[in-house]
Amino acid sequence: DTAMNRAQIARALDVSDNTISKWIAQGMPVLEEGGNGREYAFSPADCYAWRRHRDAGARAAKAAADRSASQLAMAFRNLDEEDANASAGLTAKQIAEEADADYRYQRAAEQRGEL
C-alpha cells in the first residue's frame, strides 16, 4: 500500500482532481495534508474503503427513498401491497388513465348521490 499523491489517487479511483478535493472536505482519509508546496499523501486502501463505505450509505439512502416513494404512490392510488405488485409494470400513461377513470367513477357516484 504505497502512498499516493492527489493525481495518482484520482487516477486510481477513476475520478477528477476536483472530486478528490470535494471528498477531502467530506472526510476522505489523508495521510499527510498538502499545502505550501507540499503534496497531499493518500493511502489507496484507506481511500478505497472510505469510498465503498460512502457509496454503500448513498445506496442505502436511495433505497429508503425509493421505498418511501413506492409507499406514497400506493397510498395515492389507494392500493395495498398485493394490488401494487399486480400493477407494478404499468407505464405512466396507464397509471394516468387509471387515475382518470377512477376520478370519473367517483365523480359520477357523487352526482348519483352515492357518496
DSSP states of 57-77: HHHHHHHHHHHHHHHHHHHHT
Looking at this protein, which amino acid is placed at residue 47?
Answer: C
DSSP at 27: T
* Predicted pLDDT of residue 19: 96
pTM: 0.59
Is-contact 86 64, C-beta < 8 A? no
In 3-state terms, what secondary structure has residue 11?
A: helix
Q: Give me the residue label for grid cell 389507494.
A: 78
12 vs 59: CA distance, rounded Å:
22
pLDDT tens per residue across span 36-85: 889 999 999 999 999 999 999 999 999 999 888 888 877 777 777 666 65
83 or 11, greater pLDDT: 11
pLDDT at 85: 57
